[in-house]
Structure 1
Amino acid sequence: MKIITVIGARPQFIKAAAVSNKLRQNHEEILIHTGQHYDSNMSDIFFEELEIPKPNYNLKIGSGNHGYQTGNMLISLEEIYLKEKPDMVLVYGDTNSTLAGALVASKLLIPVSHVEAGLRSFNKNMPEEQNRILTDHLSKYLFVPSETAVNNLKAEGISEGVYNTGDVMFDAINLFKNKAETKSSILDLLNIDKKHYILSTIHRAENTNDINRLSNIIEALNSSDENIILPLHPRTKKFIKDYNLHLSDRIKIIDPVGYLDMIKLMNNSKKIVTDSGGIQKEAYFLEVPCITMRDETEWVETVNNGWNTLVGCDKEKIKNSILNFNPTTEPINVFGNGNAADIISEIIS
């Protein structure tokens, strides 16, 4: 079977690292990188560290408004699909690359498989929510990470072709955690000690594009007595400069890092303060308390099980959670057994 896999952003590279090696044992895979994440720190290093096969095609779309990105992807992907004539198209997550990959396949009557299907934040103002809903309704095979996702799809009338495989990012953490601890020297390079810092990330448009929200977040971080490591997304860095915001001396800004360095930073932090969906899960897998700067999350299990708290952009909630949020129970295994990639490959076969 010939399978085209479409990826374009950091979380998708991580998921592909777990799945592609399994697929290639029995099938021909054509890997397309849309170039949605194009910075070397957010793209090239992931292919090297995670030993992902070199893409057969790199569209080099780059940054831009949603219409520009998605439109250019549609044009390029259609040409490749018509040339390669795949039996299936595999997409991941909820980015513009996900939607473009699924939409072109659906128009050409090629079956779509969606890994990480069924997630819902129930906030349709989020581009990610729009992308994941549309992709799910275009897909023939929906590989979901949890029972919550199964129920979300059922509520929308989707029950056929739904498989609860567990979460492929759990596979990735299991695959690379030990390697990260032994190979990454990021703590030494930053001169920080284990469990003596907070790790933070800010990249989501609802926070970066709103001066009030981003100002509140920065003020909350500035007011903390903790040392904070902040790998800064290029777009966030631009907005901080545009809004003339200043960060305290306790906040150490670094460039985005590769996956092994990021696992090392997450695994050894006291707490994580983020607006990332993927990092919420990774924190849960690594048993690190997570403070999520969003008003809702698609990963409700992490909140319900007491290891994630939603604080939005509320300064006092962020400050209080950094001080006082300390889970007291063990994380419950709700995302499978770390063998999602095997299950997905078997189902496809």
Structure 2
Amino acid sequence: MSFRITIIAGARPNFMKIAPIIHAIDAAKSKGERLDYRLVHTGQHYDKNMSGSFFEQLNIPEPHVNLECSGGTQAEQTAAILIHFERELLANPADLVLVVGDVTSTMACALVAQKLHIKVAHVEGGIRSHDWSMPEEINRLVTDSITDYFFTTSELANSNLLKEGKAEDQIFYVGNTMIDTLLKQRANFKQPSIWSQLDLRPKEYIVMTLHRPANVDEESQLKAMIDEIIHHTRELPLIFPVHPRTAKILERLEITHPRLHTIAPLGYLEFNYLVEKARAVITDSGGITEEASILNVPCMTMRDNTERPETISLGTNELVGTDPKSIKPYLEKLFAGEWKQTKTIPLWDGKTAQRIVSHILKLIAN
């Protein structure tokens, strides 16, 4: 009988993290390893871009099941995932539940698994922002408090887990599966329609993404931030893929400018095509700071903290903060040609998923 792994994904970034793990499991199976998986999409985030073509782009099969737990408050969504995933796991038992990242599904599915006495592995375990106002930080802390095995992205994550009382034999320093996907798909990046529509040129535009409540929910904060960015980006077009909720706020604020181009969210290959060729990225997304660093694109993070400090110490990321006035010196540094270059980030080499599956096989053997 095969060792059964249930893999959880709740939001689009999760699929980028699990795609290489699925490929590594398939590779192990082709060599005769008794390993199998069931892919569960909790449906936490509805994403119209996540159609068949999305899974085709990442070369992974459609999920075996979609629990369709979208909408509602944090508590309502957590409750829905708990109920639906318990039914799923009772109907399709597993030997290991593998969760990734820090979304609500990560925490809820880990909880269900442990209460059904099924071991839990957390990919990206141990990262910390130390900011309890972030729902993701609560998800990380709760998940890691009940996780059996941790697959970590950095030495700092290992250190965090050891300080929290985890044993060394629970922690496996493997690298970053998001980078596995990025490096594998880099040759397939796809020019979005906005490229020709605006006649964009490499290194002659800036990509923006803002989605965190601290930046977009307070209208005066969002307006001040965008005004500062516009004021200090010279003649460069600003390409801003906008979440529908943020788009409504922008519409109310009547923020318009000839250089500010708000567009619908892009597919993975299209978005990273823009990032790779951008002069810089201004964002509040942790995942984008990782991708920008590996692509060696200057990155400014509009947050007061980060759970990915290696993107600052070894990558192209700088922590700007949430005060709109703080971005000016960073943009001046960019235009002066003084931005730092990415150094090698240990184990962010495209082979993380292979290491994860190798460790799982050793755990099975033991």
TM category (shorter chain) comes to over 0.9
For residues 216-251 of structure 1, the C-alpha deviation after alignment (integer angstroms, 9 at most, x for no partner) is 222223323221101111222233335x24132211
Pairing 1:2-41 to 2, within 5 Å after superposition: 2-25=4-27, 26=29, 27-41=35-49
Judge conservation of contact 2:315–2:345 (CA < 8 Å) in 1.
no
Matched, 1:70 2:70: no
Paired with 2:147 and 2:136, the residues of 1 have a C-alpha distance of 16
AA partner of residue 331 (structure 1): K
Structure 2 gap ranges (5+): 30-34, 362-366
Which of 149, 165, 180 is 2:174 aligned to?
Answer: 165
Question: Which deviates the most, 143-152 or 207-216?
Answer: 207-216
TM-superposed CA distance for 1:305, in Å, is 3.0
TM-superposed CA distance for 1:308, in Å, is 1.2
Paired with 1:98 and 1:156, the residues of 2 have a C-alpha distance of 19
TM-score when scaled to structure 1?
A: 0.94
Alpha carbons of structure 1 residues 330 and 24: separation in structure 2 relative to 1, 3 Å: closer
Alpha carbons of structure 1 residues 89 and 79: separation in structure 2 relative to 1, 3 Å: same
Report the equivalent of 1:280: 289
Report the equivalent of 1:309: 318
Matched, 1:174 2:199: no
AA partner of residue 240 (structure 1): L
SS at match of 1:41: coil
Alpha carbons of structure 1 residues 130 and 14: separation in structure 2 relative to 1, 3 Å: same
Report the equivalent of 1:197: 205
For residues 117-161 of structure 1, the C-alpha deviation after alignment (integer angstroms, 9 at most, x for no partner) is 110001111100000111111111100011111111111111331
AA partner of residue 249 (structure 2): F
Question: Which deviates the most, 135-144 or 21-30?
Answer: 21-30
Judge conservation of contact 1:306–1:327 (CA < 8 Å) in 2.
no
Judge conservation of contact 1:198–1:270 (CA < 8 Å) in 2.
yes
Question: Which deviates the most, 252-261 or 187-196?
Answer: 187-196
For residues 184-243 of structure 1, the C-alpha deviation after alignment (integer angstroms, 9 at most, x for no partner) is 35433543111110001011122222234322222223323221101111222233335x
Matched, 1:295 2:304: yes
Paired with 1:189 and 1:177, the residues of 2 have a C-alpha distance of 23
Structure 1 gap ranges (5+): none
Report the equivalent of 2:364: none
Question: Which deviates the most, 336-345 or 36-45?
Answer: 36-45
Judge conservation of contact 2:152–2:172 (CA < 8 Å) in 1.
yes
Report the equivalent of 1:148: 156
Matched, 1:213 2:215: no
Matched, 1:227 2:227: no
Judge conservation of contact 1:215–1:245 (CA < 8 Å) in 2.
no
Pairing 1:45-60 to 2, within 5 Å after superposition: 45-60=53-68
Alpha carbons of structure 1 residues 335 and 125: separation in structure 2 relative to 1, 3 Å: farther
Report the equivalent of 2:32: none
TM-superposed CA distance for 1:312, in Å, is 1.9
AA partner of residue 17 (structure 1): A
Larger Rg belongs to: 2
AA partner of residue 87 (structure 2): E
TM-superposed CA distance for 1:49, in Å, is 1.4
Paired with 1:306 and 1:29, the residues of 2 have a C-alpha distance of 34
Judge conservation of contact 1:271–1:322 (CA < 8 Å) in 2.
no
Matched, 1:333 2:354: no
For residues 36-87 of structure 1, the C-alpha deviation after alignment (integer angstroms, 9 at most, x for no partner) is 2212125655323112211111122223311111111111000000010111
Judge conservation of contact 2:310–2:345 (CA < 8 Å) in 1.
no
AA partner of residue 289 (structure 2): Q
Paired with 2:297 and 2:280, the residues of 1 have a C-alpha distance of 6
Paired with 1:85 and 1:347, the residues of 2 have a C-alpha distance of 21
Paired with 1:42 and 1:248, the residues of 2 have a C-alpha distance of 31
Judge conservation of contact 2:294–2:342 (CA < 8 Å) in 1.
no
Paired with 1:334 and 1:247, the residues of 2 have a C-alpha distance of 42
Matched, 1:343 2:355: yes
Judge conservation of contact 1:9–1:43 (CA < 8 Å) in 2.
no
AA partner of residue 19 (structure 1): I
Paired with 1:273 and 1:282, the residues of 2 have a C-alpha distance of 13
AA partner of residue 110 (structure 2): A
Matched residue pairs, number? 346
Paired with 1:233 and 1:165, the residues of 2 have a C-alpha distance of 32
Question: Which deviates the most, 327-336 or 75-84?
Answer: 327-336
Judge conservation of contact 1:14–1:46 (CA < 8 Å) in 2.
no
Paired with 2:56 and 2:327, the residues of 1 have a C-alpha distance of 35
TM-superposed CA distance for 1:330, in Å, is 4.1
TM-superposed CA distance for 1:336, in Å, is 3.4
* Cα root mean square deviation, aligned: 1.7
Judge conservation of contact 2:296–2:341 (CA < 8 Å) in 1.
no
SS at match of 1:78: helix
SS at match of 2:60: coil
SS at match of 1:40: coil
Report the equivalent of 1:257: 266
Judge conservation of contact 1:146–1:336 (CA < 8 Å) in 2.
no
Question: Which deviates the most, 323-332 or 135-144?
Answer: 323-332
